[in-house]
Amino acid sequence: MSRFQLSLNVEDVEASVQFYTKLFGVEPAKHRPGYANFVVADPPLKLIVIEKEGAPGSINHVGIEFGSGERVAEETRRIADLGLPVEVDEPHTCCFATQEKAWTQDEDQIPWELYTVTEDTAHFGASPRGGTPLDFLLPPVSVEELEAAVADPDTVVIDAQGPGGYDAAHIDGALDFRLDDVEAQASTAIVSKGQRVIVYCSDVDCLGSEFIGTQLVDAGYTNVGRYPEGIEGWVDSGRPASVGAASVGSTTTS
């Protein structure tokens, strides 16, 4: 049997459990600190509530739970053949269960999970991309896409390195965003919630682009991507970075 899954970000799991127990007339199938899920027979639904993983009242992700890994594989092949983006996860523990799954996303970058549960576990675990898959929340772009974005007046490129990073090295044309008051800065720098935005940080280990990008998505911006390799990857690719009035890296592009 298959059923629809809805995963919600909530402020208080205990308050949510009280509400949804009354709404559905069933107790949660799993209830742990910061997490609960409800298995509803009619209509077929799995509702998950997760505490403090995103803005309360927002969608963490949606999905379909299947009865077997074979069905997940079949559906994954089917949607891939239709041209939808697909990413297959290695089996891992997430949400107090060992799962086999794949991900896709719609045009508004809402993540959809196709999965099956192979066994329950005593610990929460984590998706390789976190509670909301990062690559679906903030789709990665290539260095070529970033280069084209810098030259496109309709695209906003944001430097998310934090204090001192922009002055040390940045992409010419990028905007220096502070790590606080992200929404206020966005309201003056980004024309509309649907405008294309690309965020980068210093390197693959820097979390600034994830931090700012997530806040933009939570604020309702719907076309946000990130360049994971940061300024280090940009320079390593042979592209120039500005340091004050100087320039580092080759001016050759490919």
What does the pLDDT average to over 67-77?
Answer: 81
Band of the pLDDT at 89, cuts 50, 70, 90?
Answer: low
CB 6 within 8 A of CB 59: yes
Q: What local confidence, expressed as pLDDT, does residue 64 receive?
A: 86
Band of the pLDDT at 52, cuts 50, 70, 90?
Answer: confident
Confidence (pTM): 0.49
What does the pLDDT average to over 19-28?
Answer: 94
Mean pLDDT for all residues in the chain = 81
The two three-digit tokens of residue 41, written as one number: 């027979």
Q: What local confidence, expressed as pLDDT, does residue 94 receive?
A: 44
What does the pLDDT average to over 126-149?
Answer: 71
Band of the pLDDT at 219, cuts 50, 70, 90?
Answer: confident
Q: What local confidence, expressed as pLDDT, does residue 124 receive?
A: 35
Q: What local confidence, expressed as pLDDT, does residue 179 receive?
A: 83
Band of the pLDDT at 17, cuts 50, 70, 90?
Answer: very high
Q: What local confidence, expressed as pLDDT, does residue 135 receive?
A: 64
Q: What local confidence, expressed as pLDDT, does residue 128 receive?
A: 38
Q: What local confidence, expressed as pLDDT, does residue 14 receive?
A: 93
Find all residues with CB under 8 Å of 94, minimum gap 6, and list them: 124, 125, 126, 127
Which domains occur in the chain, in start order? 3-134 (3.10.180.10), 143-248 (3.40.250.10)
